[in-house]
């Protein structure tokens, strides 16, 4: 079985062999967000479930994104927790034949954009970082040129000239950039550092 870390009533009940009341926190997996597991559910869990795993909200977001992107399936958060468990426990299931029971497509479509964005951030395909540059014409162009050279796609740029830790004549520029993955991002950041820029992931 799989539960989210934000709703652990079933997990605690299974672990302690008695029904436990645990108020759920806000979660993408609202279909399993119960404060008290039902008696029949508890009975079935004890009869048929060998192990119960907990997964993080970030992994649920990534699982929803993977279903959308690779399988063209719209899966609600509660339905995506089996894949989230597989993502978090790759070594545990390595070399085994695994069947994931995916049930439920009742997802709030107003959340999908945020879930996709969160999944892209979690998987390292959207990154946010700040670069300290000279506050003169051409500095921003130079940094974006490095990003473009490495085929990064700039999604947004925000200037911060008022940060207390800045020297006079410097400005912080916060970039949100679409990349192919963490290795691709590291190429960009390494190049910027090699050019003498102060760079920090956010």
- Reported as a single tens digit per residue, the pLDDT across 162-173 is 777 778 888 899
* Domain boundary assignment for the chain: 2-121, 126-201
For the chain, the average pLDDT equals: 92
Predicted confidence (pLDDT) at residue 120 exceeds the cutoff of 80: yes
Local confidence band at 20 (pLDDT 50, 70, 90 cut-offs): very high
Q: Which tokens go with 57?
A: 């909200």
Where is 2: in which H helix or E strand? strand 2-4
CATH topology agreement for domains 2-121 and 126-201: no
Q: What is the pLDDT of residues 52-67, one digit of tens each?
A: 999 999 999 999 999 9
pLDDT (0 to 100) of residue 89: 96
pLDDT at 32: 94
- CB-based contact 11:3 (threshold 8 Å): yes
pLDDT score, position 169: 84
Side-chain-side CA neighbours of residue 157 (13 Å)? 14
Is domain 126-201 annotated with CATH 3.30.70.260? yes
**Average pLDDT for residues 94-103, to the nearest whole number?**
92
For 121-152, the DSSP string reads HHTTSEEEEEEEEESSTTHHHHHHHHHHHTT-
CATH T-level fold of 2-121: Rossmann fold (3.40.50)
pTM assigned to the model: 0.76
Dist. CA 32–CA 7, nearest whole Å: 7
Which of 189, 188, 116 lies closest to 149 in space, CA to CA?
188
pLDDT, residue 67, reads 94
**Token pair for 132:** 């300290």
Question: d(Cα 85, Cα 64) in Å, to the nearest integer?
Answer: 12
Tokens 């670069």 -> residue: 131
Contact by Cβ (8 Å): 120, 182: no
Mean pLDDT of 4-8: 97
Cβ atoms of 114 and 57 within 8 Å: the answer is no
pLDDT at residue 119 above 90? no
135, pLDDT greater than 90:
no
């Amino acid at each position: 079985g799989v539960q989210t870390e934000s709703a652990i009533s079933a997990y605690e009940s299974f672990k302690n062999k008695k029904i436990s009341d645990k108020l759920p926190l806000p979660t993408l997996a609202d279909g399993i967000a119960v404060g008290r597991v039902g008696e029949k559910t508890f009975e079935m869990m004890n009869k048929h479930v060998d192990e119960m795993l907990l997964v993080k909200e970030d992994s649920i977001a990534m699982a929803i994104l993977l279903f959308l992107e690779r399988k063209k399936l719209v899966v609600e958060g509660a339905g995506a927790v089996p894949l989230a468990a597989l993502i978090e426990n790759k070594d545990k299931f390595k070399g085994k034949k695994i069947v994931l029971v995916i049930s439920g497509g009742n997802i709030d479509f107003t959340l999908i954009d945020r879930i996709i964005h969160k999944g892209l951030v979690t998987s390292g395909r959207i990154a946010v970082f700040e670069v300290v540059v000279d506050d003169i014409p051409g500095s921003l162009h130079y940094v974006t040129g490095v990003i473009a050279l490495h085929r990064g796609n700039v999604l947004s740029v925000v200037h911060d000239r008022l940060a207390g830790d800045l020297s006079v004549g410097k400005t912080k520029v916060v970039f949100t950039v679409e990349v192919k993955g963490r290795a691709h991002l590291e190429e960009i950041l390494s190049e910027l550092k090699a050019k003498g820029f102060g760079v920090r992931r956010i």
